[in-house]
């Protein structure tokens, strides 16, 4: 592939309104599968950012984000910061870098200089002139098998100490309190870790609850399985696995593909990145009038996908499903789009992280984004549902009572499918799930003025628990 042709420093200074001598960090930004940078991230002494695509990226429309269209080619601080801030995952590694190098949390380029090799997904940010940090993984040579004993030791440490064993390399640091690790599952179903320095991808995530909270594994697995039965869109594949003295959740990464003995990353971005929102704005309640996660913002993202109509319909059905199963934590970082190939339109990613948040009384149960004017299910009205659907892109359908009633009846089909599959939710901690879901089905059916045939169940009584879900 030909070398990238960069815009001149003079043009960058002119377009960004900054003098080139103020630049303190220059990072080459790579996508896996490209052996030359897609662009360059520049950080100034005042911590402001700029990003410029290479001429080749602009010509082939190979872009990082719909918030950073390749046709525009260069971007100032606001758009650049909104995307790249989301590449910094809140975990122990980031805290250690901040302390060791005395870097402020808002110095995005400074932090990525040290941790950008391990960005989530297919992106890597490395000091200018360095090679890409991520490469496809060769199953036969790029992975070290992990014995059952060593895996148990890792998972027990995550369960009891919320961190990896001393001296254990983390192949793919994940956001949040350390209760999970990224691993690769080989063709013989044995687990492995990428060899240090290989840049090879993992294929699965193992999420480990605290001791005594194993029921949470079964709750999430049950809801994800239920979603796969009743929703038309893909759902991430999850399965409980047994570890010494407990249970963990094995999650298959949907941004991976395996072909001819190699593992590849697929570029994705979450809705915060697609809307140029800082991670702290992942809930609508944290934003402002023109800069927030909302139905209008979601509509914009879905309009940029390969088949907007299908994307909109699938998002509506997923939102109704989340409402019914009590997952009010479906924030902007729990939705994503996938780019199947460089230069192609993205499509809506599979559903993931579906958890019964309303079973946890210690966190807010406000919606992650407003449905009409409603912020909680008890405030929801038919007008709110119609306003939400209009905001997502079905405004023509919502204009008349007849077409709105027809659409609500279609949503009734989803409610009935959920009800008909509730008996499959069997096992530890799932009775409360069934009762809560049944209650929400009845509530939503009343709001939509539709009839759902339901089996009588106990009234829902909220219980404690949760994956440490923040409000």
pLDDT tens digits along 122-175: 999 999 999 999 999 999 999 999 998 888 888 888 887 767 776 666 666 665
Cα-based distances in Å from 280 to 34, 58, 120, 284, 285:
31, 30, 17, 10, 10
> Would you place residue 96 in the very low, low, confident or very high pLDDT band (cuts 50, 70, 90)?
confident
pLDDT tens digits along 283-303: 999 999 889 999 999 999 999
- Exposure on the CB side of residue 185, measured as CA atoms within 13 A: 11
276 and 418 inside one domain: yes
Provide mean pLDDT across the span 37-41.
97
- pLDDT exceeds cutoff 80 at 386: yes
- Our count of domains for the chain comes to 3
360 domain-assigned: yes
Residues 6 or more apart whose Cβ sits within 8 Å of residue 74:
7, 12, 15, 16, 50, 51, 52, 53
Residues 6 or more apart whose Cβ sits within 8 Å of residue 20:
9, 10, 12, 13
Rg (CA), the chain: 23
102 domain-assigned: yes
First to last CA, the chain: 47
pLDDT of residue 7: 44
CB 29 within 8 A of CB 38: yes
280 and 422 inside one domain: yes
Last residue in a domain, options 252, 286, 310: 252
Question: What is the rounded (10 degree) CA torsion for 320, 325, 330, 334?
Answer: -110
458 domain-assigned: no
Residues 6 or more apart whose Cβ sits within 8 Å of residue 300:
275
192 domain-assigned: yes
- Range of 201's domain? 137-252
pLDDT tens digits along 234-261: 999 999 998 776 789 999 999 999 999 9
What percent of the chain stands above pLDDT 70?
A: 88
> Would you place residue 24 in the very low, low, confident or very high pLDDT band (cuts 50, 70, 90)?
confident
105 domain-assigned: yes
Last residue in a domain, options 252, 277, 304: 252
pLDDT tens digits along 100-111: 889 999 999 999
163 and 104 inside one domain: no
Rounded-to-integer distance, Cα 229 and Cα 335, Å? 19
Q: What CATH number is given to the structural domain containing 288? A: 1.10.1070
194 domain-assigned: yes
Find how far residue 265's CA is from the centre of its chain. 15
460 domain-assigned: no
203 and 97 inside one domain: no
Provide mean pLDDT across the span 256-279.
96
Last residue in a domain, options 96, 127, 158: 127
- pLDDT exceeds cutoff 60 at 10: no
Average pLDDT, the chain: 88
389 and 368 inside one domain: yes
70 and 121 inside one domain: yes
232 and 341 inside one domain: no
400 and 422 inside one domain: yes
pLDDT tens digits along 329-338: 999 999 999 9
108 and 34 inside one domain: yes
- DSSP H helical ranges for 38-91: 55-60, 77-84
pLDDT of residue 33: 86
296 and 402 inside one domain: yes
239 and 342 inside one domain: no
149 and 225 inside one domain: yes
108 domain-assigned: yes
Bridge-based pairing of strands 23-31 and 191-194 is unpaired
Task: For the chain, give the number of residues.
Answer: 471
Task: State both tokens at 460.
Answer: 């829902």
């Amino acid at each position: 592939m030909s070398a990238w042709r960069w815009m001149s420093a003079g043009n960058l200074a002119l377009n960004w309104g900054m003098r080139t001598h103020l630049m303190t960090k220059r990072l080459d930004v790579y996508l896996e599968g490209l052996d030359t940078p897609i662009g360059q991230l520049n950080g100034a002494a005042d911590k402001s950012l700029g990003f410029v695509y290479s001429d080749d990226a602009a010509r082939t429309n190979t872009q990082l984000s719909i918030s950073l269209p390749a046709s525009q080619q260069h971007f100032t601080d606001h758009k650049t910061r909104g995307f790249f801030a989301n590449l910094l995952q809140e975990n122990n590694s980031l805290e250690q870098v901040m302390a060791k190098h005395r870097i402020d949390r808002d110095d995005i380029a400074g932090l990525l200089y040290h941790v950008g090799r391990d960005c989530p997904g297919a992106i890597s940010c490395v000091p200018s002139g360095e090679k890409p940090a991520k490469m496809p993984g060769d199953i036969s040579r790029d992975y070290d098998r992990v014995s059952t004993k060593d895996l148990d030791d890792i998972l027990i440490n995550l369960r009891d100490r919320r961190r990896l064993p001393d001296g254990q390399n983390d192949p793919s640091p994940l956001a949040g309190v350390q209760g999970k690790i990224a691993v690769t599952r080989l063709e013989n179903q044995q687990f492995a870790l990428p060899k240090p320095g290989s840049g090879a991808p993992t294929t699965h995530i193992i999420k480990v609850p605290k001791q005594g909270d194993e029921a949470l594994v079964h709750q999430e697995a049950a809801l994800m399985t239920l979603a796969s039965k009743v929703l038309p869109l893909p759902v991430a594949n999850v399965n409980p696995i047994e570890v010494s003295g407990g249970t963990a959740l094995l999650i298959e990464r949907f941004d991976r593909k395996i072909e001819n003995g190699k593992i590849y990353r697929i570029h994705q971005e979450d809705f915060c990145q697609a809307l140029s929102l800082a991670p702290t704005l992942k809930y609508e309640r944290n934003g402002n009038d023109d800069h927030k996660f909302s139905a209008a913002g979601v509509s914009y993202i879905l309009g940029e996908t390969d088949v907007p109509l299908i994307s909109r319909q699938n998002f509506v059905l997923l939102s109704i499903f989340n409402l019914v199963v009590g997952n009010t934590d479906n924030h902007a970082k729990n939705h994503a789009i996938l780019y199947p190939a460089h230069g192609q339109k993205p499509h809506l990613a599979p559903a993931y992280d579906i958890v019964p948040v309303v079973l946890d009384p210690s966190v807010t149960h406000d919606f992650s984004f407003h449905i009409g004017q409603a912020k909680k299910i008890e405030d929801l009205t038919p007008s709110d549902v119609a306003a939400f659907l209009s905001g997502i892109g079905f405004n023509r359908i919502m204009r008349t009572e007849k077409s709105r009633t027809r659409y609500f009846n279609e949503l009734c089909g989803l409610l009935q499918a959920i009800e008909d599959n509730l008996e499959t939710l069997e096992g530890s901690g799932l009775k409360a799930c069934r009762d809560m879901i049944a209650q929400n089905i009845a509530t939503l059916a009343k709001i939509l003025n539709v009839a759902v045939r339901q089996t009588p169940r106990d009234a829902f009584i909220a219980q404690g628990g949760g994956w440490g879900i923040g409000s």
